[in-house]
């Protein structure tokens, strides 16, 4: 896709679909308890793939690139007595580690074997009744491993106690999971590095139907924060809550403190409006993004467009996403005029240069690479390779992007 140099059209309102993170959690909970009715479900490819997997009677479940589905379904199928499945995915998925989650489930008594490389999908899972109630897992791996275990806790006869070892990564996502469980009546406790989930049964599911309206996705909102910061024009986004359990809602503070974009919330309309204000940019942006790594790409592109030096840390999980996002960022930021240094968990700008004359952004099969670099078209023409990758999390992205921007004639 070629994006000619564009301008941002002010005073537009965009309806962003439901959060993929919340939607996928609710789908698993409904599969476990059959009493959750979901409104504003995400229309992302990941959510659709999870729905199809939960409804499938096949012995082979292929979730393609959907990492969330891989992790959540591993625990889900492990506690389905009499159900044998092979859980597999794309070639990239077969390179994404899942060993810590499998080890934890095996410690509980699950029967899971690797069909390829040890520690990686595909997995052969033989569902069974699990009675053990104590497990330990590293806290500095994907929070989705921990969430996956939390889900099954309330279905185990003795509940589940999870001990987290080390520093917790992406804690807001764990808090989000526990809050959703609390809303549907499941008792949990998170104290120090220990999570406890009590066994729960609904005696009468029909009288315990929970209607849940999914808040829109904050990571999807990040690309419009970037547009607003670069253009210095306002935009409104729906449907967002004043207080959110999504870790990526840190956008509000980050874009205010770093780029001078003020977020004004209309509580009754569930709308946020972004208003860039007169602002003196900091000499350097230094952020620990351990709690919100998925918006790091957007922040890097925004800072590059505005020539604001940056150093982002807490990004260890980016190396095992759809691609090695730190390496991908380093490669593509150079094309738009930013040379960087990267380590295992950080990226730092070292020099700003003139962008390439002909910018071609590789996406590496990563939806966030396509969407985070799109706002740079406010600065210069650019081409996005494989623009369809946005279907993974935000199928309507290009439609919405074209609604609020237009080429400069």
- Please tell me the predicted confidence (pLDDT) of residue 383: 96
- Average the pLDDT over 134-143 and give the result: 88
What is the predicted pLDDT for the residue at 36? 86
Query: In this structure, are 297 and 334 located in the same domain?
Result: yes
**Number of separate domains in the chain:** 2
pLDDT band for position 320 (cuts 50, 70, 90) = low
At 210 the pLDDT is: 84
Contact 54, 31 (CB under 8 A): yes
- Do 46 and 151 lie in one domain? The reply is yes
Q: Give yes or no: residues 188 and 128 share one domain.
A: yes
**Last residue of a domain, which of 195, 213, 231?**
213
Q: Catalytic: 294?
A: yes
The domain boundary, picked from 191, 213, 235, lies at 213
**Mean pLDDT on 255-264:** 97
Give pLDDT tens digits for 288-306: 998 899 999 999 999 999 9
Min mean pLDDT across 60-64, 120-124, 201-205, 375-379 is at 201-205
Which residue's entry shows tokens 């279905």? 155
**DSSP letter, residue 186:** -
- How far is the C-alpha of 227 from the C-alpha of 322, rounded, in Å? 24
Question: Which entry of 294, 345, 366, 400 is annotated as an active-site residue?
Answer: 294
CB 84 within 8 A of CB 126: yes
Residues 224, 362 within the same domain:
yes
Domain C-terminal end among 189, 213, 237: 213
Mean pLDDT (whole number) for 137-156 = 90
Considering the domain architecture, whether residues 304 and 221 belong to the same structural domain is answered as: yes
pLDDT band at 220 (very low <50, low <70, confident <90, very high): very high
Q: Tell me the per-residue pLDDT of 5-40, one tens digit each, with 9 for 90 and over.
A: 999 999 999 999 899 889 999 999 999 988 888 988
Rounded to an integer, what distance in angstroms lies between the CA atom of residue 70 and that of residue 90?
11
Report the pLDDT value the prediction gives residue 316, as an integer from 0 to 100. 85
Beta strands 261-266; 36-39: pairing state = unpaired
Q: Are residues 269 and 375 in the same domain?
A: yes
Confidence of residue 318 (pLDDT cuts 50, 70, 90): confident
Task: Output 54-62 pairs: Cβ under 8 A, ≥24 positions apart.
Answer: 54/27, 54/28, 58/85, 59/84, 59/85, 59/86, 60/85, 60/86, 60/88, 61/85, 61/86, 61/87, 61/88, 62/88, 62/89
**pLDDT at site 34:** 86
Give yes or no: residues 231 and 354 share one domain.
Answer: yes
pLDDT at 208 over 80: no
Give the pLDDT band of residue 203 (cuts 50, 70, 90). Answer: low
pLDDT digits over 234-245, tens only?
999 998 988 888
Do 207 and 221 sit in the same domain of this protein? no
Instruction: Give me the CATH number covering residue 206.
Output: 3.65.10.10
User: What pLDDT, on the 0 to 100 scale, is given for residue 110?
Assistant: 95
Same domain, 10 and 56: no
Residue 53 shares a structural domain with residue 202: yes
Residues of the domain holding 9? 2-14+215-407
User: Do 208 and 222 belong to one domain?
Assistant: no
Mean of pLDDT over the chain: 92
pLDDT at 216 over 90: yes
Beta strand segments in 178-303, E: 188-191, 194-197, 210-213, 235-238, 261-266, 271-276, 285-288
Are 160 and 229 members of one domain? Answer: no
H or E element: which one contains 401? helix 397-404
Integer Cα distance of 409 and 397 in angstroms: 23
């Amino acid at each position: 896709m070629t994006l000619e140099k564009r301008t941002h059209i002010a005073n537009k309102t965009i309806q962003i679909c439901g959060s993929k993170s919340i939607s996928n959690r609710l789908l698993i909970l409904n599969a476990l308890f059959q009493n959750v009715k979901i409104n504003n479900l995400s229309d992302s490819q990941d959510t659709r793939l999870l729905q199809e997997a939960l409804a499938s009677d096949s012995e082979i479940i292929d979730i393609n690139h959907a990492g969330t589905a891989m992790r959540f379904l591993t625990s889900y199928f492990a506690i389905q007595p009499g159900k044998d499945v092979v859980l597999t995915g794309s070639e990239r998925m077969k390179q994404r580690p899942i060993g810590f989650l499998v080890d934890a489930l095996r410690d509980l008594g699950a029967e899971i074997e690797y069909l390829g490389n040890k520690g990686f999908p595909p997995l052969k899972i033989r569902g069974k009744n699990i009675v053990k109630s104590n497990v330990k897992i590293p806290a500095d791996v994907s929070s989705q491993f921990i969430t996956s275990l939390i889900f099954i806790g309330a279905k185990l006869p003795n509940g589940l106690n999870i001990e987290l070892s080390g520093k917790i990564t992406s804690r807001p996502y764990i808090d989000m999971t526990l809050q959703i469980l609390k809303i549907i009546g499941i008792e949990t406790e998170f104290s120090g590095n220990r999570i406890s989930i009590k066994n729960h049964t609904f005696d009468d599911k029909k009288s315990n139907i929970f209607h849940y309206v999914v808040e829109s996705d904050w990571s999807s909102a990040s690309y419009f924060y970037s547009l607003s910061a670069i253009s210095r024009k306002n935009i409104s986004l729906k449907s967002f809550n004043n207080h959110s359990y999504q870790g990526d809602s840190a956008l509000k503070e980050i874009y205010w403190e770093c780029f001078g974009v003020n977020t004004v919330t209309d509580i009754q309309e569930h709308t946020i409006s972004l208003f860039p204000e007169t602002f003196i940019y900091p000499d350097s942006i230094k952020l620990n993004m351990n709690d919100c790594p998925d918006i790091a790409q957007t922040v890097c592109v925004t800072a590059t467009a505005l020539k604001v030096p940056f150093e982002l840390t807490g990004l260890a999980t980016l190396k095992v996403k759809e691609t090695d996002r730190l390496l991908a960022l380093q490669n593509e930021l150079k094309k738009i005029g930013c040379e960087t240094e990267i380590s295992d968990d950080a990226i730092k700008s070292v020099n700003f240069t003139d962008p390439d004359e002909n910018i071609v952004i590789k996406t590496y099969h990563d939806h966030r690479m396509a969407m985070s670099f799109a706002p740079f078209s406010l600065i210069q023409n650019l081409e996005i390779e494989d623009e369809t990758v946005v279907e993974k999390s935000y199928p309507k992205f290009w439609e919405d992007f074209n609604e609020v921007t237009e080429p400069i004639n």
